[in-house]
Structure 1
Amino acid sequence: MAEQDKKDLPEELPAPLLQFPCEFPMKVVGQRTDDFAQQIVAIIEKHAPDFNASEVEMKVSGKGNYLSLGFLVNATSQDMLDDLYRSLTAHPLVKFVL
C-alpha cells in the first residue's frame, strides 16, 4: 500500500478493556480509625447505590496502623469508575486505591 493511501485510512481505536456493566474489584488502603470503613462505604454507595457493604473484606496491617478494604462494585461505565476513584483518593485518610 502506498504511503499516501495509509494516511487516508482512519486510525483504529483499541478495543475497550472493560465491557460495562461489570463487577469491578477494588482495594482501598488507609489509616486505621474507628470509622474509616464506614466513611469509605458511604463514598462507594454514592457512586454505586446497589453496593453490598456486607461483602467488604477488611484486613489490618501487621503493625495495626492501616486497614485495607477489598470489594466489588457494579461498574456501569468508565465515568462511574473514574468518579469513584477520584472521590476515594480525595479522602484524607486514604493512602492508595487499587
Structure 2
Amino acid sequence: MSQKTPPKTMEPPKIEYPCPDYPIKVIGKKSDQFQSLVVEIINVHVPDFDESRITIQDSSKGTYCSLRMFITATGEQQLKDLHEQLIASDQVHLVL
C-alpha cells in the first residue's frame, strides 16, 4: 500500500533583499501628470530609480495608462510604503 504525501500549500516566493529588477506596474487614468506623479512617488522610496526603464502602454481606448518599471527593492517596508503612497493618489487605480 502506498502512502500519499500531503498536498503542498502554495507559498508566495521568498524575496531576497536587496532585489534588483523588482517589477512594478502602476495603472491609472491617462493624463499629462500621471507619469510624473508616479515617478515622483517612486523617487521618494527608491533614490536610484532609473526612469529610462519605464515602459508605457495605453489601454485600447486610450482612457488608461500602465507604467511598467523595475526598482531595486530593499525590504518589505519599502515596498509596503511605496504601494500605500501610490494607492493613496487619486490618479492611481491599481498597483501590481
Give the equivalent residue in structure 2 for 1:10. Answer: none
Aligned residues: 84
CA displacement at 1:54 relative to structure 2: 1.2
| Partner deviation per Cα, 1:7-53 (whole Å, 9 max, x = no partner) | xxxxxxx8x71100002101000000011101100000000000001
| Structure 1 gaps, min length 5 | 1-13
Using the size of structure 2 for normalisation, the TM-score is 0.84
2-structure distance, mates of 1:34, 1:81:
26
Q: CA RMSD in A?
A: 1.3
Which entry has the higher C-alpha Rg, 1 or 2? 1
Match of 2:18 among 18, 21, 25: 21
Larger % of helix: which? 1
Q: Which amino acid aligns with 1:18?
A: I
Deviation at 1:88, TM superposition (A): 0.7
State the TM-score, normalizing by the size of structure 1: 0.82
Identity over aligned pairs, percent: 39
**Structure 2 counterpart of 1:21, one-letter code:** P
1:2-81 correspondence runs (5 A)? 17-23=14-20, 24-81=22-79
